[in-house]
Amino acid sequence: MTTGPGLSEGPAGAAVLPAGDPIASAGLAGGMLISAETTPSAAPRSSFGRWRAASPLSAMIAQRLGLSLLLLLAVSVVLFLGVEALPGDFAQTYLGQSATPQAVENIRRELGLDQPAITRYFSWLGHALQGDFGLSWASRNSIAEQIGRRLGNTLFLAFFAALVSVPLAVGLGMVSVLFRDRLPDRLVNIFSLAAISLPEFFVGYVLIFLFAIQFPIVTFPSTVYDGMPFLDRLGAILLPGATLVLVVLAHMLRMTRAAILNVMEAPYIETAELKGLSRWRTIVRHAAPNAIAPIINVVALNLAYLVVGVVVVEVVFVYPGIGQYMVDAVTVRDMPVVQACGLLFAGVYIFLNMLADILAIVANPRLRHPR
């Protein structure tokens, strides 16, 4: 059967060219050539693209690190501009209203306030990257030394709160799932909702009233000093530590419960239950390990809050940490101290958030091996 000029029907109905037809052959070859030329070729990958394809986990970690550094730089700019925008003049405040203009000018020159703002910013940032935050305007002491002495107190308080709250949150979350919609679960939900609703300072004042005034079993204010025995130091931070534990425990508990309940809806959990595994064993051996990624994420985020949110607790309990140091500096308009403490808190918060992202990636196989 003829299908067209110069074409015949081959096996299975396919049109074939007759042998020796140069025009048709040339046309077909030309069409194939045009088709080959118009087929888009794969764009060559850059070196970063090849590295990202070869090692996606390392690329994602490097991306998080780069974004965190850019965010910290942006925070430093906002922090410096915010301090610059504050009304008033420190030199005039420091010397008093009766100071002569020449004396005010001398103080401004001594503190570098006569230089342009952009010059002072880059000078401050460059020294801060080297760990030198300058001198306190109020006390003329090294800010880095003052922060170094108080940083240990803040970290000790945050570490104590984390050591108590993290295991307690995971354990209570699993118990809440085990007794879902029963009395223990309802009690846990009531406690967590109440703790989330109450601000830190209110919880702190309630604990002070109960355990330092009505039933004086702990010390107040929470004073610690260098060389203090460990047990005495532990007793001094019981109230501020308990306040932080109550605040972060509720959030971690609810997130742990939600993560495990989400996994409990999976088909393999139903299979495990049909095989006769007890509910507690199913939760511990199958549900909890598969819910570890969101749990790690929320724990890391709450650890960041512990370090940054400790400011209010330190002020309430007069605890000699970095938060108390920054608040004292605000009251006397000691701007270098405020900038240094603000940058330190921002750096710790950004770093721990980055760590939460990285841990979530490492704990999640779908993120470790993206398609």
Distance, CA of 284 to CA of 265 (rounded, Å): 15
What domain range is 345 assigned to? 144-368
**Paired residues of 15 in beta bridges:** 9
Residues of the chain with confidence (pLDDT) below 70: 1-56, 89, 94, 96, 364-371
**117-155: per-residue pLDDT in tens?**
888 889 888 888 888 888 888 788 888 888 888 888 888
Q: Which of 129, 163, 178 is the last residue of a domain?
A: 129
Domain shared by 89 and 165, yes or no: no
345: domain CATH number is 1.10.3720.10
SS3 318: coil
Q: What is the pLDDT of residue 51?
A: 63
Q: Which two tokens stand for residue 46?
A: 């850059």
Domain shared by 73 and 157, yes or no: no
Residue 1 resides in a domain: no
Q: What is the pLDDT of residue 32?
A: 43
Distance, CA of 326 to CA of 71 (rounded, Å): 22
Domain shared by 105 and 175, yes or no: no
Domain shared by 120 and 168, yes or no: no
Q: What is the pLDDT of residue 236?
A: 86
Q: Domain total for the chain?
A: 2
Domain shared by 125 and 153, yes or no: no
Place of tokens 């919880």: 203
Domain shared by 324 and 234, yes or no: yes
The DSSP secondary structure of 85-101, one letter per residue, reads TSSS-HHHHHH-TT--H
